């Protein structure tokens, strides 16, 4: 590849109601656009256009071995890209549109540039709700869209967070308000008729098991990473994170959860409560934006109160462990 001066974009932020046409025009021109989804904001490009896909990797600083999730407007579009087994189809019927991503064998003749798949013969597919699905329907083909953050950093749950991370690198951010789910989609893969969890997310294990009528199989500790993006250090704020904190140390920021007060809370330099009532749904919706807000205050560290690991707590604790992991571990 030859070196060219990067174009200096004036990143525009437009509310959803005004953004459909400009977003579509940009996508048809092979440009990339940040769009709201129910989970987190995505950095979207036409999945069939190699130049658009390359721009996604470049804007995020994402390693090219990490494949992108493809977003579809409906099941019919999904069937042109992935090969569905009966259980995957059942899960799509139960959870789409919504925060579930299915990994499927790549369909023959799928209109997807190989760069988006990082050389894999499988594809990760999801039908989002709302604006994104409408836009994809208009485009007439899948959108590749990873979370709209710089690689390894916190996923954005608002247009302002996208703007802060990618200003000048992309032409347009579509503002759909705060992302209601707040953590990324759950990623699963059916193989040998069994349901495997690749990444916990916005659909809980219990919801999946109820819809599948089968147990959800979690990766064994130390197993090969199946979703290549699940490298250990990820979602990282600048300040070090201390998990399951039983007390707060001087000058730490506090990320609280639930009605109980933790010892030393009065020493915290700043405090936010993910959900004073102890709702995991509310905590998931607030997680990334609260981490970002605490980090902006440049504390010595962030103490995080224990959060239950049932339901959405599995995804919340997964993201917190990655955010706390020593940097540079993959």
Interacting residues with ligand TXA (CB under 6 A): 37, 39-40, 42, 66-69, 99, 101, 103, 120, 122-124, 126, 145-147, 184-185, 187, 198, 226-230
The CB-nearest residue to ligand TXA is 229
Identify whether the C-beta of residue 279 lies closer than 8 Å to the C-beta of residue 227.
Answer: no
d(CA 100, CA 204) in angstroms, rounded, equals 10
Nearer to ligand TXA, 229 or 258 (CB): 229
Nearer to ligand TXA, 268 or 288 (CB): 288
State how far Cα 183 lies from the chain centre.
6
Nearer to ligand TXA, 39 or 275 (CB): 39
Q: Least distance in Å: CB of 163 to Mg ion?
A: 17
State how far Cα 150 lies from the chain centre.
12
Nearer to ligand TXA, 70 or 303 (CB): 70
309 binds, among ligand TXA, Mg ion, none (CB under 5 to 8 A by kind): none
Q: Least distance in Å: CB of 41 to ligand TXA?
A: 7
Q: Which residues pair with 174 in a beta bridge?
A: 14
Interface with Mg ion in residues 130-169 (CB under 5 A): 147
49 binds, among ligand TXA, Mg ion, none (CB under 5 to 8 A by kind): none
Backbone angles phi and psi of 241, in degrees to 5: -105, 140
d(CA 201, CA 78) in angstroms, rounded, equals 20
d(CA 154, CA 163) in angstroms, rounded, equals 13
Q: Which helix (H) or strand (E) holds 122?
A: strand 122-126
Q: Least distance in Å: CB of 66 to Mg ion?
A: 9
120 binds, among ligand TXA, Mg ion, none (CB under 5 to 8 A by kind): ligand TXA
103 binds, among Mg ion, ligand TXA, none (CB under 5 to 8 A by kind): ligand TXA
Q: Least distance in Å: CB of 283 to Mg ion?
A: 19
d(CA 155, CA 319) in angstroms, rounded, equals 10
326 CB contacts (<8 Å, ≥6 apart)? 233
Nearest to 115 by CA among 78, 150, 77, 144: 144
Q: Least distance in Å: CB of 246 to ligand TXA?
A: 32
């Amino acid at each position: 590849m030859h070196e060219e001066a990067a174009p200096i974009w004036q990143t525009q932020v437009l509310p959803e109601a005004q953004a459909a046409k400009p977003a579509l025009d940009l996508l048809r021109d092979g440009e990339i656009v940040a769009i709201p989804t129910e989970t987190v904001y995505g950095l979207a490009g036409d999945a069939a256009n190699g130049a658009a896909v390359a721009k996604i990797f470049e804007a995020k600083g994402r390693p090219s071995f990490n494949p992108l999730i493809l977003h579809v407007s409906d099941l019919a579009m999904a069937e042109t890209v992935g090969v569905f087994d009966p259980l995957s189809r059942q899960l799509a019927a139960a959870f789409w549109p919504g925060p579930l991503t299915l990994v499927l064998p790549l369909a023959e003749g799928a209109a997807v540039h190989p760069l988006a798949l990082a050389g894999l013969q499988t594809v990760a597919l999801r039908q989002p709700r709302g604006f994104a699905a409408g836009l994809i329907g208009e485009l007439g083909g899948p959108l590749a869209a990873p979370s709209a953050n710089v690689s390894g950093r916190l996923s954005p749950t608002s247009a302002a967070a996208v703007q802060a991370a990618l200003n000048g690198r992309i032409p347009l951010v579509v503002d759909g308000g705060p992302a209601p789910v707040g953590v990324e989609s759950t990623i699963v893969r059916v193989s040998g008729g069994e349901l495997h969890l690749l990444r916990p997310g916005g659909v809980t294990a219990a919801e999946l098991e109820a819809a599948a009528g089968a147990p959800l199989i979690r990766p064994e500790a130390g197993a090969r990473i199946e979703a290549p993006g699940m490298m250990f250090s990820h979602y990282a704020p600048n300040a070090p994170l201390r998990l399951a904190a039983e007390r707060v140390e001087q000058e730490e920021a506090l990320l609280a959860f639930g009605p109980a007060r933790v010892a030393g809370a009065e020493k915290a330099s700043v405090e936010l409560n993910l959900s004073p009532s102890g709702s995991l749904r509310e905590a998931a919706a607030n997680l990334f934006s609260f981490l970002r807000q605490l980090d902006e205050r440049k504390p010595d560290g962030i103490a995080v109160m224990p959060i239950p690991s049932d339901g959405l707590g599995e995804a919340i604790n997964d993201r917190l462990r990655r955010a706390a992991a020593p940097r540079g571990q993959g």
